[in-house]
Amino acid sequence: MAKVKSIFLCQDCGYESPKWMGKCPGCQAWNTMVEETIRPEKNVRGLSSGDSNLKQKPQSIVEVKSEQEPRIPTNYQEFNRVLGGGIVPGSLVLVGGDPGIGKSTLLLQTSAQLAQKGERVLYISGEESVKQTKLRADRLEIAAKDLFVLAETDLELIEQAMADVMPSVMIIDSIQTVYRSEVTSAPGSVSQVRECTSHLMRMAKTKGIAIFIVGHVTKEGAIAGPRLLEHMVDAVLYFEGERHHTFRILRAVKNRFGSTNEIGVFEMKEEGLEEVLNPSEIFLEERSKGAAGSTVVASLEGTRPMLVELQALISPTSFGNPRRMATGIDHNRVSLLMAVLEKRVGLLLQNQDAYLNVAGGVRLDEPAIDLAVAISIASSFRDAPTKPTDVMIGEIGLTGEVRRVSRIEQRVHEAAKLGFTRAIIPDKNIGGWTVPNGIKVVGVSTVYEALQAALGG
């Protein structure tokens, strides 16, 4: 009889240890080591040089025929953009996000759209009963004949249901509730999540079924379970958004069939999620006219330019150390830009508290927003508002120079489309492209020149 062996696994990173430890050596997390029992698998074939039963022989890369992967488009253009053009048959996609953010709603609505197009979709719910799923479908006004629903957590029974329905798309909600009877650990453990995901990956590849699995996230925002889970799947999508805002952002952090820079913007309403085809207009509709500290930046998310409002509030500090708070942008980048303004422009900011915010709950992480951040800070410090029809684009260096940015033409065209009449951009970006009608381009080479152009001195 095979000997039973006990090991301790970290529930965050999957680190294995023969004994319990309070702190995981792999991810430095406390109280995450859980005992699990493993049994040696039977009939494990070893590799030998004499084994000639290869199903496929190695081929030269030039002899392999390249084929374009057929895709299944959804009605959501935003969803198609993030996936790289649509759903690839045989792919395994992991969708993560905070509880209540709308993961199940998005996938259920997408399943109904595919079913109405004639695709057979199997929705497996491990957290809700079939009647509860039906109630949610009624609230979303979903009624599709080819959408099949099953409440099950046993992977063997799920595989049997898949053989009966023969779907082209299958949803697993969520992977932490699914288990295999051969694995003795509890559902949601590292071993169960790893084994179930590996089995689902083989099912997707061999039968050509696109499988979406929902993953819970930890308090830090990462998908619960070992990082191996993200390496096994073809695409990892994060559904983000502030709980107090109606906007949701679908972001790809891994995609074998498309770009990882694309985002999709959705709005949560009573009847479900609706895609936002022009997010710039939505993010700017509540902007105050003539308010000091408010600027507009043309940020780039993947191939899509997006205009967002940046807000800054500078006030004298009441403590020895001034506060630096930022929402939606990197806190360290704000401190760096304030040091450049103090050293290169002469603004006395060392005794000022600084609060910066990106309106709408969006997060910006590209260098092209530097110029807008610096002008917002200077505008609030001097209490001098910028023109409401100005847009700022540019990266700032430590010596105070304004550096060129990529895809300037698309950014300026988006600003002109929304009615902006002037764009302050790096001097190196002028030339080589056609300026759209109705907007004036002002080139600057230093932060001092940018402040003169935007604030008049």
Known binding residues for ATP are 97-104
Alpha carbons 309 and 294: distance in angstroms, whole number: 7
Query: Helices 103-116 & 130-139, crossing angle to 10 degrees?
Result: 80
**Which residue(s) pair with 235 in the sheet?**
93, 255
C-alpha 270, offset from chain centre: 23
Residue type, position 31, single letter: N
Q: For the chain, what percentages of helix, strand and coil (3-state, to nearest 5) are there?
A: 30, 30, 45
User: Is 308 within 8 Å of 302 (Cβ atoms)?
Assistant: no
Quick check: bond before 174 cis, omega within 30?
yes
Q: What is the C-alpha radius of gyration for the chain, rounded to an integer number of angstroms?
A: 26
Own/partner contacts of 247-254, CB < 8 Å, gap of 24 or more, are 247/276, 247/279, 247/282, 247/360, 247/361, 247/362, 248/101, 248/102, 248/273, 249/362, 250/78, 250/79, 250/82, 250/106, 251/82, 252/82, 252/83, 254/230
C-alpha 153, offset from chain centre: 27
Written as six digits, the tokens of 302 are: 């993947």
